Chain A
Amino acid sequence: MTRLTTTRWRQRVSTVMGTLTAASAGAVVLPLVLIFGFLLWQGASAINVDFLTHLPKPVGEIGGGMANAIIGTLILLGLASLLGLPLGILGGVYLAESRDRRLPWAVRFLADVLNGVPSIVIGIFAYTLVVLPMRRFSAVAGGVALAVIMLPIVVRTTEEMVRLVPASLREAGLALGVPEWKVVLRVVLPTARAGIVTGAMVAVARIAGETAPLLFTAFGNRFWHQGLDQPIAALPLQIFAYAIAPYDDWHRQAWAGALVLIMLVLAVSLMARLVTRGRVGAVR
């Protein structure tokens, strides 16, 4: 083979591989595009002011909405974040900062295992831990289940982000005669902030659509929020209930609910993108 043909062959291989990787990248986002398009096609027509502001109508009546489920999902996300984020972020800081070797290794391993536990099993866990002693399905139980699901994600992303902070910054802080805890709190964490917030947002987006762990914790409710110790409506539950019901109007509403849910996740993901555009803030 002459050198010239070798070059041509190499260029051809390069073109083929380039096309292949580009096509794969396209295929990765294709499902999302299809899902979103399909939801818009099916659900957009059922979204109206009533859907967003009204309670479900009694069985058999046309109309009504899922306002209670939208609010319920927001409350559940709030509860889960309240429990899961502080624990997860503090735990992640420990994993990244600890000089001990064995305990962080064990925690890291267990967090990864927890990440792989099916969400329905976590639902059963929350059922045993919260629902049984309270003798009642409740928003709190749902929040606990969702918090457990988000914990490993938050712990691991926080750890990674704190680790990414260059050692030189830590040393700069220490060399100024600042105690280590203050360096972590006021130099390391602010530097890692964008990444930590992104991790938190990803975790929130991930639990927003969880259905299984809510089935026997939050349980669902056809009325407005009744208190945190009462069953509460949630979008995924409502979608599930409406989708398997025999009424066409409910099917349409299920599609609309799915569309609202995915918009919610999209909004959270977008927010994560926005905060990662690092800004300079004063340390106070």
Chain B
Amino acid sequence: MADGIRVTKLNAWFGPSHVLRDIDLAMAPRAVTAIIGPSGCGKSTFVRCLNRMHEVVPGARAVGTVLQEGQDIYGPGVDPVEVRRRIGMVFQKPNPFPTMTVYDNVAAGLRLGGVRDRAVLNERVERALHAAALWDEVKDRLGKPGAGLSGGQQQRLCIARALAVEPEVLLMDEPCSALDPIATARIEELILELKRDLTIVIVTHNMQQAARVADATGFFLLGELVEVGPTSHLFTTPEDKRTEDYITGRFG
């Protein structure tokens, strides 16, 4: 657990359109890296390339090197299913499984991965819910539908679901964009808690959010990585004119 993620010459396409161009970016371990940029700049595509979820969309493909723990996840013979187990993901809209209870949602990844032992499940579910700061709110309603929670709780449930399989990296694709400010604040607190054990990459539209939670921030524009650096540095003294224009609100 030393290298975090190192991306070299990553290119991605949707059918004929080239949406990511030669991305080189290193994300530090046990730190939060934020990806900012205007809509359509490729930031979501970028994080989806980090756990091989990009290729799930018909017609989408990606080429490049993504080293995690020294292993290239795009290397020959690498099973994307294995990659996704190590590199978890939280999506823009909370998407708990509607047919499952709170408990079953969190246990889903383990159960579908073959864990049967009731005691192990109980322990991991509880730990994941604690880690997602949701335990106190749901401990009396584990048997209730996961879809019955509030939006913010659902998103933390999805985080717990991702944490239950004990990933090394957590990718978050605009995890707060469907939430109100209070729920957003809770998730941000949670992110700061989680980075003690996890490498976190978060896509956000909200520059204040990046400033609050991220150690490093990368700015994407039109499928290219314009600039990356320590968050405080990027927001106060950006090196590229385009970064400055974006963070000062001149476009985007």
Asked if residues A178 and B113 are in contact (CB atoms below 8 Å), the reply is: yes
User: Is A29's beta carbon under 8 Å from chain B?
Assistant: no
User: Is A104's beta carbon under 8 Å from chain B?
Assistant: no
Nearest Cβ on chain B to A194's Cβ, whole angstroms: 9
Given the interface pairs A174-B56, A174-B84, the reply to whether A182 lies near B112 with Cβ below 8 Å is yes
User: Is A121's beta carbon under 8 Å from chain B?
Assistant: no
What B residues does A173 contact at CB under 8 A?
97, 108, 112
User: Is A253's beta carbon under 8 Å from chain B?
Assistant: no
Asked if residues A177 and B158 are in contact (CB atoms below 8 Å), the reply is: no
What A residues does B81 contact at CB under 8 A?
177-179
What A residues does B83 contact at CB under 8 A?
177
Given the interface pairs A176-B162, A284-B111, the reply to whether A169 lies near B98 with Cβ below 8 Å is yes
Asked if residues A175 and B145 are in contact (CB atoms below 8 Å), the reply is: no
Given the interface pairs A172-B158, A176-B165, A177-B109, the reply to whether A283 lies near B95 with Cβ below 8 Å is no
Provide the bound-state CA to CA distance between A282 and B84, in Å: 23
Name which residue of chain B comes closest to A282, CB basis: B104
Provide the bound-state CA to CA distance between A252 and B109, in Å: 61
Nearest Cβ on chain B to A166's Cβ, whole angstroms: 7
Nearest Cβ on chain B to A125's Cβ, whole angstroms: 36
Instruction: Give residues 159-176 of A contacting B (CB, 8 Å).
Output: 166, 168-176
Given the interface pairs A168-B91, A171-B53, the reply to whether A177 lies near B97 with Cβ below 8 Å is no
Asked if residues B84 and A280 are in contact (CB atoms below 8 Å), the reply is: no
Name which residue of chain A comes closest to B52, CB basis: A174
B91's partner among A171, A190, A193, A283 (CB-CB below 8 A) is A171
Asked if residues A176 and B112 are in contact (CB atoms below 8 Å), the reply is: yes
Asked if residues B85 and A172 are in contact (CB atoms below 8 Å), the reply is: no
What A residues does B100 contact at CB under 8 A?
280-283
User: Is A99's beta carbon under 8 Å from chain B?
Assistant: yes
Contact with A along B128-158 (1 / 0, CB 8 A): 0000000000000000110000000000001
What B residues does A10 contact at CB under 8 A?
none
Counting chain A residues whose Cβ lies within 8 A of the other chain, the interface size class is: 20 to 34
Provide the bound-state CA to CA distance between A284 and B121, in Å: 13
B53's partner among A174, A190, A283 (CB-CB below 8 A) is A174
Provide the bound-state CA to CA distance between A182 and B85, in Å: 14
What A residues does B97 contact at CB under 8 A?
169, 172-173, 187, 191, 283
Provide the bound-state CA to CA distance between A284 and B108, in Å: 9
Asked if residues A176 and B99 are in contact (CB atoms below 8 Å), the reply is: no
Nearest Cβ on chain B to A259's Cβ, whole angstroms: 38
Contact with B along A176-215 (1 / 0, CB 8 A): 1111001100110011010000000000000000000000
Given the interface pairs A176-B162, A280-B145, the reply to whether A166 lies near B95 with Cβ below 8 Å is yes
User: Is B89's beta carbon under 8 Å from chain A?
Assistant: yes
Contact with B along A258-284 (1 / 0, CB 8 A): 000000000000000000001011111
Nearest Cβ on chain A to B200's Cβ, whole angstroms: 15
Asked if residues A283 and B165 are in contact (CB atoms below 8 Å), the reply is: no
Given the interface pairs A173-B112, A182-B112, A282-B104, the reply to whether A191 lies near B95 with Cβ below 8 Å is no
17 A-B pairs with CB atoms under 8 Å apart are A172-B91, A172-B95, A175-B51, A175-B53, A175-B89, A175-B91, A176-B112, A176-B113, A176-B162, A177-B81, A177-B86, A177-B113, A182-B112, A187-B97, A187-B108, A278-B98, A280-B99
A-B pairs, top 9 by smallest CB distance, nearest first, are: A177-B85, A176-B109, A175-B89, A177-B84, A168-B95, A178-B112, A280-B145, A190-B99, A172-B95
Interface of B with A (CB < 8 Å)? 51, 53, 56, 58, 81-86, 88-89, 91, 93, 95-101, 104, 108-109, 111-113, 144-145, 158, 161-162, 165
